[in-house]
Amino acid sequence: MLQWIKNIPIPLIYLSFLLLWFYYAIFSASYLALLGFVFLLVCLFIQFPWKPASKVLVICGIFGFWFLFQNWQQSQASQNLADSVERVRILPDTIKVNGDSLSFRGKSDGRIFQVYYKLQSEEEKEAFQSLTDLHEIGLEGKLSEPEGQRNFGGFNYQAYLKTQGIYQTLNIKKIQSLQKVGSWDIGENLSSLRRKAVVWIKTHFPDPMRNYMTGLLLGHLDTDFEEMNELYSSLGIIHLFALSGMQVGFFMDGFKKLLLRSGLTQEKLKWLTYPFSIIYAGLTGFSASVIRSLLQKLLAQHGVKGLDNFALTVLVLFIVMPNFFLTAGGVLSCAYAFILTMTSKEGVGLKAVTRESLVISLGILPILSFYFAEFQPWSILLTFVFSFLFDFVFLPLLSILFAISFLYPVIQLSFIFEWLEGMIRFVSQVASRPFVFGQPNAWLLILLLISLALVYDLRKNIKRLTVLSLLIIGLFFLTKHPLENEITMLDVGQGESIFLRDVTGKTILIDVGGKAESNKKIEKWQEKATTSNAHRTFIPYLKSRGVAKIDQLILTNTDKEHVGDLLEVTKAFHVGEILVSKGSLKQKEFVAELQATQTKVRSVSVGENLPIFGSQLEVLSPRKIGDGGHEDSLVLYGKLLDKHFLFTGNVEEKGEKDLLKQYPDLEVDVLKASQHGSKKSSSSAFLEQLKPEMTLISVGKNNRTKLPHQETLTRLEGINSKVYRTDQQGAIRFKGWKSWKVETVG
C-alpha cells in the first residue's frame, strides 16, 4: 500500500484537498467550489510537470464520474417516489419513543422511510420500548415528502434525510399486523443486536447511569436525556458523547490484546480486525465519526501514517460513503482529525496538551460557526477536564460494568453519574452564555480557513501573524455584524415574529411566536419531552445573523401564538427591555410571565417613537386602555428606508376602523396582515384605503384553522397587493442599504 501511495504523482493530501473541492462543486452545485477546483487545477499544472499533472487530472476524472453517478442516483431516487406502502420492516436501533409518539426507520421494497406513529395505549408503548428483534408491520398510512428549510440558516430536514438515503416520510394511521421476521442482511441484524444492547442496559441499570452507558458505548442517547443534552450543548461539550478515535482505539486495542493473549498471531489478527470493525460500526449505528476513526485505524495497521493516513481515509470515504461530507458530523469529524494530525508532533507534556487544545479550538472555530453560529469559551477548559473523565474513567468503567451485567448488574455506582450531572448543572448556572459569532457565508468561511492555515504556517513570524490575526478578527466581525439593514418575518408556524436590525446593529424583535395551549387532557404515559418552537425557528436564525442582544422586544398582544416562547427568548438572548401595551398588564398570567423573565418591562403609549433605520417606528394604537384583548394590540408604523411599513399586531376590524379614523392619510407600502389572514381583519374598507403594495401573512403550514381565509385573499387580490405567506414561502426578508430587496426561503 505504501508503494502504491508513492506512485501517486503529487502528495496524497493535495489530491484529497483537490477532490474535496470537486466533490462540493458537484454535490452542492456550488459555483464557488467549482471556481476553487479550477484554480487548484491551474496551480497543479504550474507547480508540477505536464505528465504527472495529467495523471492527477485522470484521477480527478474517475472520481468526478463517481460523484456525478452518485448525484444522479440520488436525483432519480428523489423523483421516483413510492405511491403507497402496505408493509415496512423496522430497523430496531432507530426506534424512539417519546410520550405517545413513536418514530423509527423502516425498509420496504428497497426503500428506507422515516416512520411516525401515534401510540394508542400504554401497553402498546411498552411493547415498542422493549422490541428488539426484526419485525415487519402491516399498516395503513400516508406518505409525504419531508419538510424542507423554513428559515434562512435554519435546519433542512429534507436535505438531512437525503444524506441518510431517505426521501419520504410515512405516517401510520393504523397498525394492522406486527410480525417477527428473519433476515440475511448484516446491517439489519446489527441493528437488532444494537437495540438488544440498548434495551438490556435500560432495563438493568438505573437513570442516569444507563444514559451514559448507552451514549458512550453505543452512541445512543434517548429522549429522557433531553434536559442534560441541552446543558451539555450549552456548555459546548456535547461532542463528548460523539464516538470518535478514543472509543475506537479503546475497543480496537482491547480486542487485539484479548486475541494476542489467546495465542493468535499478528498476521491472523490483522485480518480479524476487519469483521470486528464492521460489527463495532454496526453496534454504534454506523456513525460518521466511528467509520472515519475505524478507517484510519485499519490503514495505520498497514503502515499508512500521518497526513497520508488522513488523506487516504478521505479518498475511501468518497467511495464508500458519498454523503459523508454533506453532514455536519462528517465534516466536523474530519476537521478534528486533520487538526489533530497536524498538531500531534508538537511535543509532549501538559504544555503541549494545552497548546494542542487551544489550536484545535481555534482551528475548528470557523466550521463550528458555520454549523452552529456560536462558541462556548468555557468548552476549552471543560473539554480538557471532562474528556479525561469520559475517556479514561467512564469508558473503561462502563465497559466493565456492561460486560459483567450478564452475570450480575452493578448498579451501586449510579451515584457517580448523579454527582456528575449535579456538577454539570452547577457549571451551566455559573458559565456565561455562548459567544455568538454568526454563520459565515461560503466566501467568509473559505477566507477564515485559509487565514487560519496561514497562521499555523507562519506561527513563528510575529509581524505576519499580527496582520493575519487582525484579518481573522475582521472576518469574524463581518460575520457577526453584517453591514446591511434587514426586516425579516420568520416562519414560526402558526405564530408570529418579526426581526428588525439596522446597519448600526440596533435590533428590535416584534413578538416571539409560540403555540396555543391545548385543553385536551393527557395521561402520564403520553407526556413527551419537547423542544420549544423558538429553538427550532427564530433563535437559530438570530444566532446565524450574529445576534446576541435584542435591544427592544415588543409584545404586541398576549396571545400565546405571539408571546408563548417569551421565556425561551430571554434565556437565549440578552434583552434590553420588553415593550407592551398598558391594557396587556391587566392579564395576570401574562404579567407573571413577564416577571419570570427578570427583564425590564415598559408600557408604551400612542405617539411614542422607537428609533431604527435612521427613522423610527411610531405607536399608533391602542388609544384607550382596555382589558388586554385584541383591541389592546400594539400597532406600529414607520417609513423604513424607502417603504412605509404597518405592523398591525392582532387588531380586528374595529381596531382597523379606529386607525382609519385617526389617521385618514396613512400611507402604507408593506402591510403585516393581522390574525394570520383571518376574515375578522384586513377588511375591505381598510384595504381599499391603504392599498398596500405588499402584504405579509405569518401563518402555519397546513394549519387546522385553514388560514389565511379565502375571503381575505380575495380582498387582497382585488387591490392588486402582492401577498407573501410564510406557509408557502417560508421566512420573508427585506434587505438593503437605501432601498429594500425582498427574498424568501421557498
> At 9, which helix (H) or strand (E)?
none
In this model, does residue 50 exceed pLDDT 60?
Answer: yes
Kind of pairing, strands 643-647 and 635-640? antiparallel
Handedness of CA 221, 227, 230, 231 (dihedral sign): negative
Residues paired with residue 643 on neighbouring β-strands, in sequence order:
640
Crossing angle of helices 50-79 and 306-320, rounded to 10°: 40
Give exposure, 170-192, as e/b (b: 16+ Cβ within 10 Å).
Answer: bebeebeeeeeeeeeeeebebbb
The CA distance from 409 to 300, in Å, is 37
pLDDT digits (tens, 9 = 90+) for 183-215: 999 999 999 999 999 999 999 999 899 999 999
String of DSSP letters for 11-47: -HHHHHHHHHHHHHHHHS--HHHHHHHHHHHHHHHHH
Calculate mean pLDDT across residues 320-329.
92
In this model, does residue 161 exceed pLDDT 90?
Answer: yes
- End-to-end CA gap in the chain: 49
* Maximum Cα interatomic distance, the chain, rounded to a whole number of Å: 95
The CA distance from 581 to 3, in Å, is 76
**All three cell numbers of 455:** 497562521
- Which band of pLDDT confidence, cut at 50, 70 and 90, is reported for residue 532? confident
Neighbours of 256 (CB within 10 A): 18
In this model, does residue 352 exceed pLDDT 70?
Answer: no
* Residues 537 and 150: beta-carbon distance below 8 Å: yes
The CA distance from 134 to 104, in Å, is 12
The conformation of residue 519, written as its DSSP 8-state character, comes to: -
Spatial CA neighbour of 353 closest among 362, 364, 344, 365: 344
Q: What is the pLDDT of residue 346?
A: 52
The CA distance from 197 to 449, in Å, is 41
Q: What is the pLDDT of residue 380?
A: 82
Taken as a whole, the chain contains a residue count of 746
- Which band of pLDDT confidence, cut at 50, 70 and 90, is reported for residue 29? confident
* Residues 502 and 613: beta-carbon distance below 8 Å: yes
Neighbours of 457 (CB within 10 A): 11
In this model, does residue 568 exceed pLDDT 90?
Answer: yes
In this model, does residue 129 exceed pLDDT 90?
Answer: yes
Calculate mean pLDDT across residues 298-314.
90
Helices of type H across 597-732: 653-662, 684-690, 710-718, 726-729
Three-state DSSP string of 147-214: CCCCCCCCCCHHHHHHHCCEEEEEEEEEEEEEEECCCCCHHHHHHHHHHHHHHHHHHHCCCCHHHHHH
The CA distance from 673 to 495, in Å, is 12
Q: What percentage of residues in the chain have a pLDDT greater than 70? A: 97
Which residue carries 382589558 as its cell? 627
In this model, does residue 337 exceed pLDDT 80?
Answer: yes
Neighbours of 493 (CB within 10 A): 21
- Which band of pLDDT confidence, cut at 50, 70 and 90, is reported for residue 350? low
* Residues 553 and 594: beta-carbon distance below 8 Å: no
Q: What is the pLDDT of residue 741?
A: 96
In this model, does residue 366 exceed pLDDT 90?
Answer: yes
The CA distance from 686 to 512, in Å, is 26
pLDDT digits (tens, 9 = 90+) for 623-675: 888 777 777 899 999 999 999 999 999 998 899 999 999 999 899 999 999 99
The answer to which of 215-219, 262-266, 391-395, 402-406 has the lowest mean pLDDT is 262-266
In this model, does residue 3 exceed pLDDT 70?
Answer: no
Calculate mean pLDDT across residues 43-60.
89
In this model, does residue 1 exceed pLDDT 60?
Answer: no
> At 560, which helix (H) or strand (E)?
helix 560-563
Q: What is the pLDDT of residue 263?
A: 76
Q: What is the pLDDT of residue 362?
A: 81
* Residues 26 and 71: beta-carbon distance below 8 Å: yes
The conformation of residue 377, written as its DSSP 8-state character, comes to: T
Cα distances from 689 to residues 659, 666, 711, in angstroms, run 11, 8, 17
Q: What is the pLDDT of residue 462?
A: 76
Q: Say how many CA atoms lie within 13 Å of 103 toward its Cβ.
A: 10
* Residues 673 and 682: beta-carbon distance below 8 Å: yes
The CA distance from 166 to 158, in Å, is 9
Calculate mean pLDDT across residues 489-514.
95
More confident residue, 172 or 250: 172
* Residues 593 and 567: beta-carbon distance below 8 Å: yes
In this model, does residue 172 exceed pLDDT 90?
Answer: yes
**All three cell numbers of 69:** 453517478
The CA distance from 226 to 530, in Å, is 8
* Residues 120 and 127: beta-carbon distance below 8 Å: no
Residue 701 sits at the vertex; the CA angle it makes with 695 and 705, to the nearest 5 degrees, is: 85
pLDDT digits (tens, 9 = 90+) for 66-112: 999 999 999 999 999 999 999 999 999 999 999 999 999 999 998 99
Q: Say how many CA atoms lie within 13 Å of 725 toward its Cβ.
A: 19
Q: What is the pLDDT of residue 463?
A: 79
Q: What is the pLDDT of residue 5?
A: 65
In this model, does residue 256 exceed pLDDT 80?
Answer: yes
Q: What is the pLDDT of residue 353?
A: 63
From the centroid of its chain, how far is CA 701?
Answer: 20
Calculate mean pLDDT across residues 590-597.
94
**All three cell numbers of 503:** 446597519
Cis-peptide, bond into residue 92, ω within 30° of zero: no
The CA distance from 626 to 649, in Å, is 15
In this model, does residue 358 exceed pLDDT 80?
Answer: no
Is residue 637 helix, strand or coil? Answer: strand
Single-letter amino acid, residue 667: E
Is residue 373 helix, strand or coil? Answer: coil
Helices of type H across 262-301: 266-283, 288-300
Spatial CA neighbour of 247 closest among 277, 211, 210: 277
The answer to which of 360-364, 485-489, 514-518 has the lowest mean pLDDT is 514-518
Calculate mean pLDDT across residues 430-458.
88
Spatial CA neighbour of 338 closest among 4, 13, 6: 13
In this model, does residue 502 exceed pLDDT 90?
Answer: yes
Q: What is the pLDDT of residue 345?
A: 60
The pTM for the full model equals 0.91
The CA distance from 419 to 208, in Å, is 10
Which residue carries 463550528 as its cell? 368
Which residue carries 428506507 as its cell? 112
Cα distances from 425 to residues 416, 530, 579, 658, in angstroms, run 14, 19, 32, 51
The answer to which of 289-303, 338-352, 390-404, 421-435 has the lowest mean pLDDT is 338-352
Q: What is the pLDDT of residue 343?
A: 76
Helices of type H across 373-461: 378-388, 395-404, 414-430, 442-457
The conformation of residue 721, written as its DSSP 8-state character, comes to: P
Exposed, middle or buried: residue 148 (CB in 10 Å: 0-12, 13-18, 19+)?
Answer: middle
Q: What is the pLDDT of residue 232?
A: 87
From the centroid of its chain, how far is CA 205?
Answer: 31
Q: What is the pLDDT of residue 460?
A: 74
Give exposure, 608-642, as e/b (b: 16+ Cβ within 10 Å).
Answer: eebebbeeebbbbbbeeeeebbbbbbbbbbbebbe
